Structure 1
Amino acid sequence: MQLTPRPYSFNNPEGIYFVTITVVFWLDVFVRARYKEMFVESLNFCIKNKGLQVHAWCLMSSHAHLIISAQQPGKINLSDIIRDLKKFTAAQIVREIEAGPESRQEWLLDKFRFAAGKNSRNTQYQFWQQNNHAEELLTNHFTEQKLQYIHQNPVQEGWVDEAQHYLYSSARDYSGLPGLVPITFID
């Protein structure tokens, strides 16, 4: 019996994927510089130590968009890397919120606790939504569309006038400016 590939999952080990990871309830957690730094540090760790290849990325206040692939297809499982990235950043950021100072500490922890209560996989807190909505980029048109979408997100939110001016995005790299995460450019 042949299994049907699940939609929105990493079915092709050699594929390049557009992924969105979202904080539960779309909570605006990444409004604090320290939480943004933790995400960037974790992303860089996954690139250096876990075989993640990042082609594009953008961290928004409640979610992150990534275009990713494996450095060694077949040997690296993207699903495992994203799981580890989410697990580590969740634990780190929740610890930071618990330690304070965070003006929304009680409210955020209450939301994370509530989300965990709805999910048997979590015991105390759930930071990230379960799904990643992974979409394989199969055509140049779809790839370009997702790349532009990622980079234009901060512009659409009114945070910057030009995409390359947003620090937490690979739009900087694509415009020749130094970025925070090593990028493997899409041809």
Structure 2
Amino acid sequence: MKEGYIIREQDKAHFITATVVDWIDVFTRQNHRDCVIESLKYCIKNKGMILYAYVIMSNHMHLVIQSDDGKLSDLIRDFKKFTAKTILDTIQTEPESRREWMLERFKKATESHTRNKNYQFWRYGNHPKEIYSSKFLWSKIEYIHMNPVRAGLVKNVEDYIYSSASNYINDEGLIEVTLAEIPKVNVLKNSSFMKYIKE
């Protein structure tokens, strides 16, 4: 299947979405969420990933990322390949009440594609959107951080552990992200971006 969205400017920051096949709620399990966290940390330290924002939901994740060596497509591919393999291994070796059902779904997903022979974990495509302005960047950061609030998981964005909201609001988080520059206050009057500005 040909990807509907492609990354033309490999050195630019992009908003991407990675979704588990069939929207399977894999990330309701902490060990699978932690796998993604550790992989992001590794990519930041060793593969030139610049991570501005992220959120891990039950069956998908959103990121605003950039590659410091201009190879964003390769970076995303490697990240998804590694996390898929690691999580699939975990599903098969650690206690998981839904193991058979999940593996059956991941196996079935390979029938319509030839790339994966055994299991397909992530859906193809990332729907990348190039970050072309500060306003667009902040609209995506806000969208990412509001996901758990909209899902009814937390009341305040900074209370959701598996996102970068607390990095921006409390200067702490599971991953050390690259904080995007806060737009000028006069641009943000009556904007929800104001919550990111320290009193």
Give your verdict on TM over 0.5: yes
Identify the residue that residue 63 of structure 1 maps to in structure 2. 60
Q: Aligned partners of 1:33 and 1:68: how far apart in 2? A: 23
1:51/1:76 contact within 8 Å kept: no
Partner SS state of residue 46, structure 1: helix
Matches within 5 A, 1:63-142: 63-71=60-68, 75-142=69-136
Relative to structure 2, which stretch is displaced further, 10-19 or 145-154?
10-19
Q: Determine if the alignment matches structure 1 residue 158 to structure 2 residue 155.
A: no
Number of corresponding residues: 179
> Aligned AA for 1:44?
K
**1:186 Cα offset (Å):** 1.1
Higher mean C-alpha deviation, range 6-15 or range 27-36: 6-15
Counterpart selection for 1:169 from 150, 163, 167: 163
Output the amino acid matched with 2:88: V
Structure 1, residues 146-174: CA drift from partner, whole Å, max 9, x if none? 11100000000111000000000000101
Report what 2:192 is aligned to: none
1:145 aligns to what SS in structure 2?
helix
The whole-number CA distance in structure 1 between the counterparts of 2:17 and 2:54 is 10
Partner SS for 2:27? coil
Q: CA deviation at 1:141?
A: 2.3
Note the C-alpha offset of 1:9: 2.2
Pick from 11, 23, 29: which aligns with 2:20?
23
Higher helix share: 2
* Structural RMSD (CA): 1.2
Query: Alpha-carbon deviation of 1:77?
Result: 0.7
TM-score (normalizing by structure 1): 0.92
TM-score (norm 2): 0.87
The AA in structure 2 aligned to 1:180 is: L
Residue segments in structure 1 that go unaligned for 5+ positions in a row: 1-5
Matched to 2:5, the amino acid is Y
- Number of the residue aligned with 1:3: none
Q: Tell me the CA shift for residue 7 of structure 1.
A: 6.1
2:10 equivalent in structure 1: 13
Is the 2:109–2:119 contact (alpha carbons within 8 Å) kept by the matching residues of 1?
yes
Deviation at 1:8, TM superposition (A): 2.7
**Counterpart Cα distance in 2 of 1:8 and 1:81:** 16
Residue of structure 2 equivalent to 1:49: 46
Q: Unaligned regions of 5+ residues in structure 2, if any?
A: 182-199
Write the letter of the residue equivalent to 1:104.
Answer: R
Contact 2:14 2:130 in 1 (8 A): yes
CA distance in 1, matches of 2:128, 2:140: 12
